[in-house]
Structure 1
Amino acid sequence: MRWGWGFAALGAIAISAPASAQLSKPEKQIVKTVEAGFERDVALLEKIVSQNSGSHNHPGVKAVADMLAPEFEALGFEVEWIDQSAAGRAGHLFARHKGKPGTTKMLLIAHLDTVFEPSSPFQQFTREGDRAIGPGVGDDKGGIIVILSALRAMKAAGTLKDANIVVAMTGDEEDAGDPLEAARADLIAAGRWADVALGFEGLSVEDGKDFGVVARRSSNGWKLETTGTSGHSSAIFRDGTSYGAIYEMARILDTFRRELPEENLTFNVGFMAGGTPAVMGEDQLSASTVGKTNIIPSTAVAAGDLRTLTPEQTERTIAAMQAIVDDNLPGTDATISFDIRYPPMAPTDGNRALLAKLNAINADMGLAQMEEYPPSRRGAADISFVAPLVKASLAGLGPDGRGSHAAGESVDLKSFTRQAQRAAILMGRLVKAKVD
């Protein structure tokens, strides 16, 4: 596949270009339409944020989807609710727009659910000038509003007509359904269809500067169990006597700490327990134990996460962890298992070329250039499932938010305008990009 907007065409652009200096007439219309629709966008944001849609509140997730479906249908999209009850979740809302054959196929990704279940005391939307506060206001209901604002502006400017777009809004991004293969099957199918994937979770901003997200790390889990022959503590360390499960656990975890660190890799230990015996809870999020100080402990358990930037780094780290686990202390044994959940969105030339295209738009709009955001500072996201399948992907296209996943989560409402304008112009230019 050859992209008409190849790397050479994305050369240096003057950062100081005046606003709208290089924008076409339709693009100038996009800028005006987004600005004119600001209060409408905020009103819709309030409406969907005020409806609780915690990942496990299935009726609430469906209610948000029902609010959004007419918005997409009014723009000429075919809307589909994809039931996910078999995976233990509510479902996904997909909206599809069929445009001109042969143009760039774009997959826009967001999510309907939040981390705030009905039991959370944080439920209310409030507005304080250009700041909005509420559960999921940035992550990721704000991202959905950016998508809609951009698409409305494209329609008004005439650039939506030829666009081939699928908007995938998952209902379980914050706590994916099980089995994961079923929960993400429709998203992955859309990724196989698409040329480009655009993720509309929050914009990365530091010290007043906007950044582009060309990479995100994986999110995987691991569980570790160590065993040792129990006996009287007075015999510990003697030849032929077990060192016990806790010393073996400590050896492994400390060797992880000393030998594994490298750039863009983290491996947290979330919890652990050791004794005679120690047992992992049925929820896999807790452990219990009993024991005595004069008994060599028989069992220890621990669980944590593993975050990497590339599949190769994942494989290499797993192999190194396994080798450490297998080098047992006398009289002990250990086993480790891995739960591969969210893959990484690795940095690629295609992703960087897409950011360069966005930076050309920034220059044309009189905005500062966006540098690459360090992937170690971003968590996993649904775009990672499709990033290996498309020619290019770019994340962080949602609004500028603060305090995600915590009471008081907020967004800068002014950021909705520039994010929707950027996204609409980018998609309009991608429609014109030749794909062979």
Structure 2
Amino acid sequence: MLPLIRKTILTIAVSACLPVIANTTTTLNEIEHNIVTQTELLLPQTLKELEQAVNINSGSMNFAGVKQVGALAKLQLEEVGFKVEWLDGRYFNRAGHIVATHESDNPNAPKIVMIGHLDTVFEAEDDFQKFVRLNEQQAAGPGVADMKGGNAIIIAAMRILNKLDLLKDLSIKIVLTGDEESSGEPLTDSKQAIVDAAIWADIALGFENGDNDINTAMAARRGYTGWELAIKAKPAHSSRIFNPEIGYGAIFEAARILDAFREQLSSEENLTFNPGMIVGGTRIDYQKEQSSGTAFGKSNVIAQEVKVIGDLRALSVLQVEQAMAVMQKIVAAKAEHSQAELTFETGYPPMALTKGNLALLAIYDEVSRDLGYNKVVAANPRQAGAADISFAANHVEMALDGLGLMGQGAHTKDEIADLTSLKKNIEKTTILLYRLAQAANVKTNRE
């Protein structure tokens, strides 16, 4: 069956089964009760292995550490019966990725890509390095929630499905990237493993911690586009500023442009743009790889150069394009005796809110409530950043993210995981996968 036709049929099958699931599965069935039991039994091992993974530094540029965390995941997934490959990252200047595959003999089995990442923002020289159990409900550590906890949920779900002989009705690819926190370049090579898996798949599940609210899941994510503004102007003694033959200088021109961005675009729903760094003066030196810059200037000299680095986040490709057009128009209305150039770099695409994503969220919500947990609603996309699932979302019929370990303080030395969410989200993920398989089989049997 052609992939597009198969994906459309699966979406119809799952959507058609939503009323069946809602009306007949108000409590867990026997298999689902067994999933809950197995989760409880597996929890000590999962926590131990989470601690082991957190204690391996895997900052994005610590290639050896990323590979070590990947080797640990490889061993764990091979034990479950997955075929696991390590994809070397030398072509995009990062450590590499894990791709683990289990293909079912059942022709009706849904094809699901599950996405996590091996790297963290904390490099080898950082002093935040170890897993620390704070109490029964919390643990601190680099990447404990973002997102080694999410990886732990994926692996635990696979173990439970395998233990209960439920993997036979699912085809699954697990992609654990080594560069989510600092993407390799070119991006097309860096994210190709996710794209390839998504083209193969029907459904994408992401195990980032989303907005860190167990009451929500990410049915949509905003994309990320980097931008750079470079300005040059006439240098002169400060006493001559504003003269017609001199102009306003580079810093005033930068201020004009940035304030016009704010005035014209800040009220746009789900659109944000942030100038994260500005360097200006008589001479500047911007080091892109180090995200740093230096400047020389004097109060009595009109600034000659400015460089501004920022990002743009939006919920659709159209919104990105429209914002870029407005920004370019503002830059083009340049002040006298100044030159400005605004360039954009390819970044993370948006994960748009679709009917398929909402259908998947509805099943996940039903699972949560059947377990006696919270109702799960769509998160506000402004409450979370970009994530790898965005590279999959446009190739599948349904996608959902934010299914990982909840917590707080991600990307800071105050990162803490909410361990109460570990058991809950393992159960929810495993039962979700089981119900997706059941829904596909029910639809096929009806036909």
TM-score range, shorter chain: over 0.9
Q: 2:351 aligns with which of 345, 353, 356?
A: 345
- For residue 249 of structure 1, what is the amino acid of its counterpart? A
Alignment of 1:25-424 (within 5 A): 25-99=30-104, 100-127=106-133, 128-202=135-209, 204-206=211-213, 210-261=215-266, 262-281=268-287, 283=289, 285-424=291-430
Q: Deviations over 1:112-166 (max 9, x none)?
A: 1111111111111122223222111111111111011111111222211121000
- For residue 106 of structure 1, what is the amino acid of its counterpart? I
- For residue 143 of structure 1, what is the amino acid of its counterpart? G
Q: Structure 2 CA distance, aligned partners of 1:405 and 1:241? A: 45
Q: Offset of 1:229 from its aligned partner?
A: 2.3
Q: Structure 2 CA distance, aligned partners of 1:420 and 1:30? A: 9
Q: Offset of 1:14 from its aligned partner?
A: 8.1
How many residue pairs end up in the alignment?
431
Note the aligned Cα RMSD (angstroms).
Answer: 2.1
Q: Structure 2 CA distance, aligned partners of 1:234 and 1:86? A: 52
- For residue 267 of structure 1, what is the amino acid of its counterpart? F
Name the SS of the counterpart of 1:258 in structure 2: helix
Q: Offset of 1:286 from its aligned partner?
A: 2.3
- For residue 28 of structure 2, what is the amino acid of its counterpart? L
Contact in 2 for aligned 1:105/1:165 (Cα 8 Å): yes
Contact in 1 for aligned 2:211/2:383 (Cα 8 Å): no
Q: Offset of 1:51 from its aligned partner?
A: 1.2
- For residue 96 of structure 2, what is the amino acid of its counterpart? G
Q: Deviations over 1:250-303 (max 9, x none)?
A: 110110111111111111111212222333235362232223334332221111
Contact in 2 for aligned 1:203/1:210 (Cα 8 Å): no
- TM-score normalized by the length of structure 1: 0.93
Q: Structure 1 CA distance, aligned partners of 2:137 and 2:180? A: 27
Q: Structure 2 CA distance, aligned partners of 1:13 and 1:71? A: 32
- For residue 400 of structure 2, what is the amino acid of its counterpart? L
Name the SS of the counterpart of 1:117 in structure 2: coil
Deviates more, 1:314-323 or 1:279-288: 279-288
Name the SS of the counterpart of 1:320 in structure 2: helix
- TM-score normalized by the length of structure 2: 0.91
- For residue 306 of structure 1, what is the amino acid of its counterpart? L
| Cα gap change, 1:237 to 1:12, in 2 (>3 Å) | farther
| Cα gap change, 1:13 to 1:156, in 2 (>3 Å) | closer
Q: Deviations over 1:195-230 (max 9, x none)?
A: 100001115445xx5212101112221111112223
Q: Structure 2 CA distance, aligned partners of 1:228 and 1:43? A: 59
Please name the residue that 2:3 is paired with: none
